[in-house]
Chains A and B, each alone.
Chain A
Amino acid sequence: MSKEIRIGIADYKVSNSPDKLITLGLGSCVGIAIYDPATKRGGLSHIMLPDSSSFISDIKVEKFADLAIPTMIREITSGRFNKNLIAKIAGGASMFSFSSNANNIGQRNVEAVEAVLKEYRIPILSRDTGGNIGRTMVVDLNSFTISIKNGSKEINIL
């Protein structure tokens, strides 16, 4: 039986085929799907912020790209080295025209995600990032196909 697993803001979940992982309403947040095609096991993370280093107290691991991604990878691979892993990412929009470039959290989130994935040598196979639209990700863990939606309308397939 296939389950649909919801991931809230500042959270991640890991599961196996044929489940679907879903996260709704990504604005400047970024959704990171990481997958092992051999075991068909994968995770989806919904991060809010690029890095945790300027925060001192109450650090929620799942909220930050630099902490959430490594933790999720360990959960997907059970801590073993795995060179099969691949990634697809979406989100990181700049929703408002008044946002100054220096404070573009969406873009900074995307850059931080890219850096962490590069560090772990996980290739980004496809992406739908930036722009000024919100996105919902529906990740099929059987095929690692990702449907990108705005509301109920599909706008892209990764």
Chain B
Amino acid sequence: MMEDTYTHLQIDCLREVVNIGGGNAATSLSRLLNKRIDMTVPIIEVLSYEEVYTSIMAEDKVVNSVIMNMMGDGEGIFVFIASMDATESLAKMMMQSDEEVSDEIKNSALVELVNITVSSFLNAISKMIDANLITSIPFKITDMFGAVLSSVYMETEYFDENIMIIKNEFSYNGNRIETSLYFVPRPGVLEKLFKTLGV
């Protein structure tokens, strides 16, 4: 289905753009956490909701989601999804302590971390394609993965049962941190990007 809409070259270019954005985000995360954070190869594929829920995460799993709107020359939504356990370990890494941290601190640590991650992601891309891309302030909701993801896609006017997943995953010390950064462009944004890149 994706092959019908976009060429292989376009998808490769998109992967490269997400790779650069995500790489920059991983570097910022490493600096923030004072630990080496790596990024896996970005995932770009078209999946049905059922496939997403069986292959990525169950729809009723309660997760922390931090959402930021992208505005300016292109619009879209960034969603950072972290499991409860990952939120806790990220907060501890950020606080550089093994002590129990309160929910309030955990939450604000996560929100700030996503703010930095997404900003550095966009920074890299803006420079590369010479575009003006800014973000809204982040906000966090804790809810079921399926409720969050389907609502994000509907909000960005994707009404199909098959959705294009664009995401980065991060790892620390070779271990996957149960977090992913999703990017959901509004309709037309990818076309604009491909035009800018000349593909």
A49 contact set on B, CB distance < 8 A? 154, 159
Q: Say yes or no: is A81 at the interface (Cβ < 8 Å to chain B).
A: no
Complex interface residues of chain B between 131 and 166 (CB less than 8 A to chain A):
136, 139, 141, 143-148, 150-152, 154-155, 159, 161
In the complex, the answer to whether A26 meets B155 with C-beta atoms within 8 Å is: no
Complex interface residues of chain B between 41 and 72 (CB less than 8 A to chain A):
49-50, 53, 58-62, 67, 69
A152 contact set on B, CB distance < 8 A? 60, 62
Closest residue of B by beta carbon distance from A58? B160
With A9-B146, A24-B59 as given contacts, are A60 and B161 in contact (CB-CB < 8 Å)? yes
In the complex, the answer to whether B49 meets A8 with C-beta atoms within 8 Å is: yes
Interface size on B, residues (CB 8 A): 26
B155 contact set on A, CB distance < 8 A? 28, 95-96, 99, 103, 105
A93 touches which one: B58, B139, B147 (CB < 8 A)? B147
Please choose the segment from A36-44, A115-123, A131-139 that sits at the chain B interface, where 4 or more of its residues have CB less than 8 A away: A131-139
In the complex, the answer to whether A25 meets B145 with C-beta atoms within 8 Å is: yes
With A24-B144, A150-B62 as given contacts, are A8 and B154 in contact (CB-CB < 8 Å)? no
In the complex, the answer to whether A48 meets B143 with C-beta atoms within 8 Å is: no
Complex interface residues of chain A between 118 and 158 (CB less than 8 A to chain B):
132-136, 149-152
A95 contact set on B, CB distance < 8 A? 141, 143, 147-148, 151-152, 155
Q: Say yes or no: is A29 at the interface (Cβ < 8 Å to chain B).
A: yes
What does DSSP make chain A's interface, helix, strand, loop or mixed? loop
Query: Measured between alpha carbons, how far is A63 from B154 in the docked complex, in Å?
Result: 13
Interface size on A, residues (CB 8 A): 32
A132 contact set on B, CB distance < 8 A? 141
In the complex, the answer to whether B62 meets A29 with C-beta atoms within 8 Å is: no
Query: Measured between alpha carbons, how far is A106 from B147 in the docked complex, in Å?
Result: 11
Query: Measured between alpha carbons, how far is A25 from B150 in the docked complex, in Å?
Result: 9
In the complex, the answer to whether B144 meets A150 with C-beta atoms within 8 Å is: yes
Query: Measured between alpha carbons, how far is A10 from B152 in the docked complex, in Å?
Result: 16
A27 touches which one: B136, B139, B146, B161 (CB < 8 A)? B146
Q: List 25 A-B contacts (CB under 8 A).
A: A8-B53, A9-B150, A25-B150, A27-B146, A27-B151, A28-B154, A29-B150, A48-B161, A60-B161, A93-B147, A95-B151, A95-B152, A95-B155, A96-B141, A97-B139, A98-B67, A98-B69, A103-B155, A133-B147, A134-B144, A136-B60, A149-B60, A150-B62, A150-B143, A151-B62
Per CB-CB distance, the 8 closest pairs between chain A and chain B, nearest first, are A25-B146, A134-B147, A27-B151, A27-B147, A151-B62, A25-B59, A95-B151, A134-B144
Residues of B within 8 A of A (CB): 49-50, 53, 58-62, 67, 69, 136, 139, 141, 143-148, 150-152, 154-155, 159, 161
